[in-house]
Amino acid sequence: MILTVTLNSALDVTYRVPRLRPHASHRVSAVGERPGGKGINVARVLAALGHPVTATGFAGGPAGSLVRELLAASPGVVDALVPCAGTTRRTVAVVDEASGDTTQFNEPGPLISAEEWAAFLARYADLLAGARAVALCGSLPPGVPVGAYAVLVRAARAAGVPVLLDTSGEALRRGVAARPEMIKPNAAELAELTGSRDPLPATRDARRRGAHAVVTSLGPDGLLAATAQGTWRAAPPRALSGNPTGAGDSAVAGLLSGLVEGLDWPDRLARAVALSAATVAAPAAGDFDPRTYEEVRGSVKVTAAQ
């Protein structure tokens, strides 16, 4: 199975309004609730691709209970979340139906105690025994050490399990030094890590900092990958309109599934770009539009980057 870790899981709440106007009251036309957080989004996409997947992290309070209830209804995803005393955060997305734009509000997450962190580490060690690959995704909740991902990367490497790390800031800086198999920053996260806003040298710089491979998300322009086998750009055939929330998580699922299946890098990147595009065309994070995925995958342009 593939293991996804979402230390700061969330209850994703989506409001749809006819038009979003500052300083005004709004009548909500539709409300949606889903289990969320980057790793849980990744887990749902992996399951849709046919991979056995287990999701772990923390869940607590009424929101955490609802996350687990909704996760139980997600086909193919095994719930291995660790209970915590605090309440799982909510993320609120407000979709402006007139423009298609989304405004996001992200709560910080529950305070995790030292005892809860130790319980998670024990669960993680048990789960690694049956894992073929691990995705470490998203922000750290309060109380979790800033070097947490470095600890988790080293534990996976000791167990012989490849790791994809998708986080930002100091957690990424420390995590990449632990030498994960892959990291997937976006352009802003890459610039923060390396100090360079030029994606190609910055991606190569990030690889020199410890990751075996660095795949940078360039938004609608696709992906840029620096690996031991070469450097590639992968771009969709056209720009797609829709909601980009979760597109990066779908790219992670594409990269990780490609790793497990032994695909070469161009095929991994084509899958990741197609899944990302298909997520933009879907109504919610953690979903992708199958028709768009099949249409785009065969048309992704993958070229060597110099």
Radius of gyration of the chain (CA): 18
255, with CB counted inside 10 A (0-12, 13-18, 19+), is buried
Q: What are the residues whose beta carbons fall under 8 Å from the beta carbon of 172, sequence distance 6 or more?
A: 149, 165, 183, 185, 189, 193
Hey, which residues does 12 pair with through a beta bridge? 34, 91
Helix or strand run (H / E) with residue 79: strand 77-79
Tokens of 273: 């770009």
Q: How far apart are CA 181 and CA 2, in angstroms?
A: 14
Active site residues: 249
Q: What is the rounded distance in angstroms from the CA atom of residue 13 to the CA atom of residue 15?
A: 7
Q: Are 141 and 108 in contact (CB under 8 A)?
A: yes
